[in-house]
Structure 1
């Protein structure tokens, strides 16, 4: 056969393969399988058979040049590995190698051709990580195919006999096969570029959908994962924003909510979590289910639908599960699985944040409880001692002090709320100072400068530790305790100033309070600092103005907090 006719026939074969590749790249099922990172056995078998068919077609349409049948099987075998991975490359090339061994002509080259066919598939599969996801470089793919064809020529020389015929055949076919097949695989592979372009488009669409879905779903998980209206709305949003036919939300033991689109069938048992959900929570990863046992209450349902379950994880433990179902297809679309995993991952972060906020609130509540029950025994002893003394002189005054003491302890021990009106907090401070006034009499002087309205909620028991500190340490050189409580209001905040005429705060105490260090004798003030910073932020931390002529502690309370 003349060289120009040989090249022409080989080009026709390459064109046929390019046409086949173009048709395959348009099939949705082939697109989905190629794009899948984890393929089922069914998907692997289908893709292997498709590429094995391409290799066999290349062998069947080979060009007989007398001593050898010139073919393009390297293109199908290499493409199987490059597009499908090592397993597909091995299976497809091995299946087609059987055909090559028994049906290719002449028989003297059958062993060498079968061996090189398997070699092509393994070579393409070995470079799959380098070329996957359409990131191939055509120069590298061209050189790799040249190398594969050179190996094919060597196999012909080593495994065929007589040697002189094999040598003459190699010299005749080497140049056109190496050059044209290396160009041919570039044409074949480029036909699948649209698969990866569509994947990029689908990824962009999925990212936009996931972003919109997350924006609508995450606020519904801000209070954690539990039964209620939020779970109902969450299922409705997911069902409305996706193509899924049904959505189910579960915790570890039961179904919290489930909804579906226009489907009449419902299992008899609506309390038991489907097996796929239990398996997903047990394994801590996404699970799919195509078939269920006939004994399952979900069997009738699963005749037409497939389920996918992804667990919500908190501290590496599943706290619940999102299960969706869709019409059965040959393969699951990768984008659908990625969208489900994206929603569950972000949902897990939101649940973790809700749990963290809950734990923070519990910690603050426990800290408040500790402060409420931290009644100074000396104060109680002194108050009772004062009332006992007053009883001898003024029983009516003693009765008033007992009522004040009862109100003081009732307020101290009431843990129903963390925020109270400022007027109630000021009233509690007045009760405390009234008891101290009964003890120190004229040696304690208290003045108030208050606005007519104090319409704001502030943390309970936030002022009393500061006032107590002023009474305890605010002693002037005459032995008098002078305390002033002043409340100022502007458009954005209230500022409470508690001042005394004592010797001022020691510098180390101020430094310790501002740095958050524990002070054995300043537990109350340290607690005030932490609570103010936690509720209002750094810009509302207590401010201390201190000198040897007295000190002033200012607390700022933002409106609307």
Structure 2
């Protein structure tokens, strides 16, 4: 009996080795992930049917209590029986694939065993079908949950299925005593072998799937890291600088021989092997890339010839070329190259497909951000360009009147108007200017107003040292000063003081304009900067436009704030600190 157990373990080991090889074939692993599909069921029946045939042909002939032969064979003597691992393969097929697969494999195995002959061969057809049915019904639960039976379940169930066969031998045999003697001799070794084999088979499946999950977890982490690190470059647009940086990151994290990124016409970046002849600004040289650009589909090459590079001595032997798309149009390619063709596997293809989707989304988002930025920029410049025409008309009329009585002063006013107008044109073309230029704009405005209304306004400048080159939106101070001149003092002719303060607070610049006027009514104060507020001297749209520009450029933190009382009004805002280098 012990010798038989050792021989049975050898046969079971053969099936286990085949199972291990099978579980390391990606195609078979994919089959197991779609067990409910008809095509998958057919393929599993074929695979396990072959296993069952091998189990039959590697069995051990038993005559009485003697082991007759230890070699594969086809025909049994009339009074001989066969100890084999048939129940192991049938049981596993049912546990994994369900009753249809289990019964089908049972029929195949039982038919082969019947053709082999021996004592009461029909019994093994019946027992094989029963084993396939019972194991398939038990496996249904795990199939519905998309899992597999545990190893412990396999050990118990494997022993139980072999026990079913032993019961069939005793109950269905034409010679009861011979059947009992046979079961006594082969029963325990076959039950133990089937139990151990089923458990090991399921443990191989479990460990393979766990390993795959761990690999996916690592790949997912790498993909997240890759996405985060490449996002700024792909979203900044398809240019040589951004694509080169992205290609370096991709090569480092995916560990391929070379990475290349192209637009529809030329190479934007190539990092790694063959960079001596695949370099930026060069026209696309590989036929593979041209085909991907034409079809918009992922292509693979598994030889130097398939890549289609004509350069002598090119080390690239395999490649995956992925289309990069925006708005469903192919705008370029991402190419992963290998100097060893065997490194291009199913895993690399799946990873490449995922990266294509991610990178295409990043590019599309970048284009959307750019369009949004351009629209926002256009809106800001439109707001900046809205200059009060009445100011120009009044100033020109004043200059016209002065020409006859004080030509020198009229000339000075004309120069100041020219400075003011030039600053308006420059401000309409950019979002930020140096504080020094803004102060020149304010000075030009003040002199024009003082020429019209001599000695009516006094402006005090309190500018912190070292801030002349900081950047701020054009007209910020000028509009606030103009607003104070027009609305703070009503018809008061003297003692009208406006204080302009600019200083640094942590990482912000505080810009404040304060007057000693009559203050703002409570019902108007809450509306300023948020909507147009009509008054005797204007609509209040200048403050609204300025506030919109500040918020568009720097967020809500930079919006205008108003504090007012009968002693005067202060308007201030906080702008993020940035120097000329920003």
Q: TM-score, normalised by structure 2?
A: 0.71
Query: Which residue pairs with 1:61 in the alignment?
Result: 58
Q: CA RMSD in A?
A: 5.3
Report whether the alignment pairs 1:552 with 2:570.
Answer: yes
Report whether the alignment pairs 1:504 with 2:504.
Answer: no
Query: Which residue pairs with 1:21 in the alignment?
Result: 16
Query: Which residue pairs with 2:472 in the alignment?
Result: 458
Aligned partner of 1:524 among 526, 529, 542: 542
Preserved CA contact (<8 Å) 1:372 1:413: no
Question: What are the residue-to-residue correspondences of 1:45-194 with 2, within 5 Å?
Answer: 51-62=48-59, 71-77=84-90, 79=92, 93=105, 100=112, 103-105=115-117, 108=122, 127-128=142-143, 130=145, 132=147, 136-138=149-151, 141=154, 181=194, 184-194=197-207
Preserved CA contact (<8 Å) 2:154 2:202: no
Report whether the alignment pairs 1:373 with 2:373.
Answer: no
Determine the C-alpha separation between the residues in 2 that align with 1:428 and 1:312. Answer: 48
- Residues 256 and 395 of structure 1: is their aligned pair in 2 closer, same or farther, counting only changes over 3 Å? same
Aligned partner of 1:30 among 24, 34, 42: 24
Determine the C-alpha separation between the residues in 2 that align with 1:269 and 1:539. Answer: 48
Determine the C-alpha separation between the residues in 1 that align with 2:369 and 2:546. Answer: 20
Preserved CA contact (<8 Å) 1:255 1:271: no
Query: Which residue pairs with 2:430 in the alignment?
Result: 417
Determine the C-alpha separation between the residues in 1 that align with 2:103 and 2:475. Answer: 75
Report whether the alignment pairs 1:224 with 2:237.
Answer: yes
Query: Which residue pairs with 2:439 in the alignment?
Result: 426
Measured after TM superposition, the shift of residue 394 of structure 1 is: 2.0
Preserved CA contact (<8 Å) 1:543 1:555: yes
Preserved CA contact (<8 Å) 2:517 2:569: yes
Determine the C-alpha separation between the residues in 2 that align with 1:21 and 1:518. Answer: 82
Report whether the alignment pairs 1:289 with 2:289.
Answer: no
Determine the C-alpha separation between the residues in 1 that align with 2:238 and 2:101. Answer: 45
Determine the C-alpha separation between the residues in 1 that align with 2:22 and 2:241. Answer: 39
Query: Which residue pairs with 1:397 in the alignment?
Result: 409
Q: TM-score, normalised by structure 1?
A: 0.73
Q: Deviations over 1:436-457 (max 9, x none)?
A: 3333444444343334542311
Unaligned runs of 5+ residues in structure 2 are 35-39, 63-78
Determine the C-alpha separation between the residues in 2 that align with 1:128 and 1:302. Answer: 49
Measured after TM superposition, the shift of residue 378 of structure 1 is: 2.2
Aligned partner of 2:450 among 437, 441, 445: 437
Structure 2 residue matching 1:187: 3-state secondary structure: helix
Query: Which residue pairs with 2:285 in the alignment?
Result: 270
Give the aligned length: 537
Structure 2 residue matching 1:363: 3-state secondary structure: helix
Measured after TM superposition, the shift of residue 105 of structure 1 is: 3.9
Preserved CA contact (<8 Å) 2:173 2:179: no
Determine the C-alpha separation between the residues in 1 that align with 2:261 and 2:103. Answer: 40
Preserved CA contact (<8 Å) 1:401 1:435: yes
Determine the C-alpha separation between the residues in 1 that align with 2:493 and 2:31. Answer: 82
Query: Which residue pairs with 2:37 in the alignment?
Result: none
Structure possessing the higher radius of gyration over alpha carbons? 2
Determine the C-alpha separation between the residues in 1 that align with 2:247 and 2:104. Answer: 43
Preserved CA contact (<8 Å) 2:94 2:132: no
Measured after TM superposition, the shift of residue 189 of structure 1 is: 1.6
Determine the C-alpha separation between the residues in 2 that align with 1:169 and 1:413. Answer: 111
Preserved CA contact (<8 Å) 1:72 1:181: yes
Preserved CA contact (<8 Å) 1:418 1:459: yes
Measured after TM superposition, the shift of residue 546 of structure 1 is: 1.2
Preserved CA contact (<8 Å) 2:251 2:257: yes
Determine the C-alpha separation between the residues in 1 that align with 2:343 and 2:144. Answer: 25
Measured after TM superposition, the shift of residue 366 of structure 1 is: 0.8
Q: Deviations over 1:65-93 (max 9, x none)?
A: 7697564335335546777x79x969994
Question: What are the residue-to-residue correspondences of 1:174-253 with 2, within 5 Å?
Answer: 181=194, 184-203=197-216, 205-206=218-219, 209-210=222-223, 213-214=226-227, 217-221=230-234, 223-226=236-239, 228-251=240-263
Query: Which residue pairs with 2:65 in the alignment?
Result: none
Preserved CA contact (<8 Å) 1:536 1:557: yes
Aligned partner of 1:470 among 470, 484, 497: 484
Determine the C-alpha separation between the residues in 2 that align with 1:203 and 1:547. Answer: 66
Preserved CA contact (<8 Å) 1:474 1:503: yes
Query: Which residue pairs with 2:73 in the alignment?
Result: none
Preserved CA contact (<8 Å) 1:220 1:234: yes
